[in-house]
C-alpha cells in the first residue's frame, strides 16, 4: 500500500514539473480549519489536552488524455469537536489512478460513485460530517452503445484510517431512450432513462451470544437491488425508484431478520418564473453498512435522501432532521417557487419572489425502534416502544423576497415546525415551534453592502424561546465582517456570540473568528453529526489551484 502511495505521489510530482505543457493539467486544493479552544462553564465547553484542534486536507490531482491520478493528505490527529475517537490520525488514505481509453475507464484506488438515488449504494465525502466512505478497490465504466452506461466495482470500505473487513461488490446499468421524432436529444424531446443496480456485501461471521446457550447466525452475504425510471418531457420530470435488501441483522435494527425496502416517487415542473416539486418516499429497514456492528455516521454503503429542507438560517436549522434508516419512515415533500412580475399589484416595481415548502415524515405501520437507529443518534436501542404521536418531523415554511428600493432588498420567512426529539435524538419530546425571520440587505455602493438578520423561535418545549441577530458588512472584493448572537431567552438566558473577519484574494480565502458554538446536530441531507458546545478562536484557510 505504501508503495502505491509513493508511486502516485511521484506521478503527481512529475505532472507538476511538466504542467507547462498542454498534455498534463495539475490542480489541487488546501482546506484547513483550526480551533484554539477555551473552557466555558456556562455553555459546558471543556478544554482537553490539545491547545489547538484542526482538520486539514491537501488534495492534488494530475489529468492527462489517457491517465489521471490523485491523492489526498489529511492531518486529523487533533480533530475539531464532535468527531469519533477513531477519526483522529494523519497520513494518506485517499489515492487513485484512472485510465481512460475510448469508451471505457478503469479506476484503481479510492472509488466514489452512486447508483441511482443512492438507495443501495453511495460513496462520497462530506468533511463537515466526517464522512468518507470510499471503496479501496477498482471500478470499471464502459459505454458500449450511445446512451448505455455500465459500471462494475469492488473493494473494501474506508472507515477513518482503516478499512472494514467485508467486501463490497456491485454493478449498475443505465439506458437512455429518446423520442423517435427527435433527430437529436434536446430539452424538449421525450427522454426516458431506465436503470438497474445490484450490490453484494460479504462479511464473515461474528460470535454474538444472545444468552448463555444461544448465539445469532448472521448471513455472510447480503444482497441489495434497485430499479428506476426517469422520464423527462419538456418542463416535466418524473422519477420512480424501488430498492430491496435481503436480511441484514445489525446493531442498527436490533439484530432482527427482516428484508428491507425503499421506494420513492418524485415529480417536478419548471419554467420561467415557476417551479414545482413533489416527492414521496417509503423506507423500511434500509440501514446498509459494511460493518454490522457499526454505529453513528461511519460505514454506510447506501444513502436515503431525507426529503426535508436543509435550512441555512440559524433558528430554522436548530432542529434538523436525521433520516431513520433502520426504523423506517414515510416522507413527503413539496416545494413551490414563483416570481411575481414587475409592475404588478403583488410584484411592485421590482418584482417579488415567493418560495413555499412543506415536509412531513411519519412512522410506518408497525412500531419503529425506540431510538430510530438514525445516523444522528448517539446510541442504538434494540427494544421497541409506543408513543402518542407517529410524526417524526413536520415543516411548513413560506418566504417572500422583494426589492423595496433600488438599493434595499428584504426577505421575510415564517416557519412552523414539529420535531420529534425522542425519535431523532433518543430523548425529550415533540418540539412544536413557530419561527420568524427577517433578512435585509442595503447596497451602499457597488463594493459596499450591509446585511442584517433578525430571527425568533417560540416554543413551549425543550429550552423554550430563542432569538438571533446578525450583521454582515461586505467590502468587495476582499473583506467581510460578521457579528452575531444567538440568545436563549426561554430558559437558560445564555448568549452564543460570534465575530468573524473574512479576507479573500484570488483563489485564497482566510477567515478568523472568536465566539461560542451551541451544542447540537450538524446535518446535511438527513445525515447528522453531534457537535458538543465549544468556545474559542477559529481560523479557516482555503486555497484552490
Lookup: cell for 424: 431523532
Distance, in Å, from the CA atom of 261 to the CA atom of 282, rounded to the nearest integer, reads: 8
User: Could you report the per-residue pLDDT of 246-255, keeping only the tens digit for each?
Assistant: 999 999 998 8
Q: How confident is the model over 28-41, as a mean pLDDT? A: 96
Measured in whole angstroms, how far is the alpha carbon of residue 14 from the centre of its chain? 35
pLDDT exceeds 80 at position 120? yes
pLDDT value of residue 164: 95
Q: How confident is the model over 59-66, as a mean pLDDT? A: 94
pTM (2 d.p.): 0.88
% of the chain exceeding 90 in pLDDT: 77
Phi-psi label, residue 435: left if phi above 0, alpha if psi -120 to 50, beta otherwise: beta
Contact 302, 224 (CB under 8 A): yes
Phi-psi label, residue 109: left if phi above 0, alpha if psi -120 to 50, beta otherwise: left
DSSP assignment of 488-539 equals ETTTT--EEEEEEEEEEETTEEEEEEEEEE-SEEEEETTEEEEE--EEEEEE
C-alpha closest to that of 361 among 317, 322, 386, 391:
391
pLDDT value of residue 210: 58
Q: How confident is the model over 264-288, as a mean pLDDT? A: 96
pLDDT exceeds 60 at position 366? no
Helices (H), 387-515: 421-425
Contact 354, 303 (CB under 8 A): no
Residue 224 CB partners (closer than 8 Å, separation 6+)? 120, 121, 198, 199, 200, 201, 243, 244, 245, 246, 260, 288, 301, 302
pLDDT level of residue 178 (50, 70, 90 thresholds): confident
User: Could you report the per-residue pLDDT of 474-493, keeping only the tens digit for each?
Assistant: 999 999 999 999 999 999 99
User: Could you report the per-residue pLDDT of 493-529, keeping only the tens digit for each?
Assistant: 999 999 999 999 999 999 999 999 999 998 988 899 9
Distance, in Å, from the CA atom of 537 to the CA atom of 195, rounded to the nearest integer, reads: 49
pLDDT exceeds 60 at position 373? no
Q: How confident is the model over 384-395, as a mean pLDDT? A: 70
| Domain residue ranges of the chain, discontinuous segments joined by + | 1-79
Distance, in Å, from the CA atom of 333 to the CA atom of 319, rounded to the nearest integer, reads: 17
Amino acid at each position: 500500500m505504501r508503495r502505491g502511495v509513493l508511486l502516485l505521489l511521484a506521478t503527481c510530482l512529475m505532472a507538476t514539473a511538466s504542467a507547462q505543457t498542454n498534455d498534463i493539467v495539475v490542480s489541487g486544493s488546501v482546506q484547513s480549519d483550526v480551533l484554539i479552544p477555551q473552557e466555558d462553564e456556562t455553555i459546558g465547553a471543556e478544554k482537553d489536552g490539545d491547545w489547538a484542534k484542526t482538520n486539514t486536507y491537501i488534495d492534488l490531482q494530475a489529468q492527462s488524455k489517457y491517465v489521471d491520478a490523485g491523492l489526498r493528505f489529511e492531518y486529523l490527529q487533533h480533530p475539531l469537536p464532535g468527531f469519533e475517537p477513531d477519526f483522529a490520525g494523519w497520513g494518506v488514505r485517499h489515492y487513485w489512478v484512472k485510465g481512460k481509453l475510448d469508451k471505457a475507464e478503469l479506476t484503481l484506488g479510492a472509488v466514489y460513485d452512486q447508483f441511482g438515488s443512492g438507495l443501495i449504494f453511495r460513496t462520497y465525502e462530506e468533511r463537515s460530517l466526517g464522512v468518507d466512505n470510499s471503496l479501496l478497490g477498482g471500478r470499471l465504466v464502459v459505454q458500449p452503445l450511445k446512451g448505455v452506461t455500465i459500471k462494475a466495482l469492488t473493494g473494501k470500505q474506508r472507515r477513518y484510517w482503516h478499512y472494514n473487513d467485508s467486501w463490497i461488490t456491485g454493478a449498475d446499468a443505465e439506458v437512455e431512450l429518446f423520442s423517435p421524432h427527435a433527430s437529436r436529444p434536446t430539452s424538449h424531446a421525450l427522454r426516458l432513462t431506465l436503470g438497474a443496480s445490484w450490490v453484494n456485501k460479504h462479511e464473515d461471521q461474528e460470535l454474538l451470544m444472545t444468552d448463555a446457550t444461544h448465539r445469532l447466525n448472521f448471513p455472510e452475504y447480503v444482497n441489495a437491488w434497485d430499479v428506476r425510471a426517469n422520464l423527462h418531457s419538456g418542463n416535466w420530470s418524473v422519477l420512480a425508484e424501488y430498492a430491496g435488501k435481503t436480511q441484514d441483522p445489525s446493531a442498527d435494527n436490533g439484530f432482527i431478520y427482516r428484508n428491507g425496502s425503499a421506494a420513492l416517487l418524485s415529480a417536478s415542473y419548471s419554467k420561467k418564473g415557476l417551479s414545482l416539486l413533489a416527492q414521496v418516499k417509503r423506507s423500511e429497514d434500509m440501514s446498509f453498512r459494511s460493518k454490522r456492528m457499526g454505529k453513528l455516521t461511519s460505514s454506510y454503503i447506501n444513502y436515503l435522501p431525507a426529503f426535508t429542507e436543509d435550512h441555512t438560517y440559524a433558528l430554522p436549522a436548530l432542529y434538523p432532521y436525521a433520516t431513520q434508516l433502520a426504523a423506517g419512515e414515510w416522507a413527503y415533500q413539496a416545494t413551490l417557487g414563483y416570481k411575481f412580475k414587475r409592475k404588478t399589484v403583488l410584484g411592485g416595481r421590482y418584482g417579488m419572489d415567493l418560495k413555499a415548502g412543506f415536509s412531513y415524515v411519519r412512522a410506518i405501520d408497525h412500531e419503529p425502534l425506540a431510538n430510530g437507529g438514525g445516523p444522528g443518534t448517539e446510541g442504538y436501542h434494540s427494544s421497541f416502544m409506543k408513543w402518542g404521536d407517529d410524526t417524526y418531523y413536520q415543516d411548513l415554511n413560506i418566504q417572500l423576497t422583494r426589492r423595496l428600493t433600488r438599493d434595499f432588498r428584504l426577505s421575510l420567512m415564517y416557519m412552523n415546525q414539529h420535531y420529534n426529539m425522542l425519535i431523532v435524538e433518543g430523548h425529550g419530546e415533540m418540539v412544536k415551534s413557530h419561527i420568524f425571520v427577517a433578512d435585509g440587505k442595503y447596497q451602499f455602493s457597488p463594493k459596499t453592502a450591509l446585511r442584517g438578520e433578525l430571527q425568533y423561535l417560540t416554543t413551549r418545549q425543550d429550552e423554550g424561546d430563542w432569538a438571533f441577530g446578525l450583521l454582515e458588512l461586505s467590502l468587495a472584493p476582499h473583506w467581510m465582517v460578521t457579528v452575531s448572537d444567538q440568545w436563549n431567552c426561554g430558559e437558560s438566558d445564555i448568549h452564543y456570540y460570534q465575530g468573524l473577519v473574512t479576507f479573500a484574494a484570488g483563489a485564497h480565502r482566510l477567515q478568523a473568528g472568536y465566539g461560542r458554538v451551541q451544542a447540537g446536530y450538524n446535518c446535511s441531507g438527513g445525515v447528522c453529526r453531534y457537535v458538543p458546545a465549544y468556545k474559542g478562536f477559529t481560523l479557516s484557510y482555503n486555497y484552490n489551484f
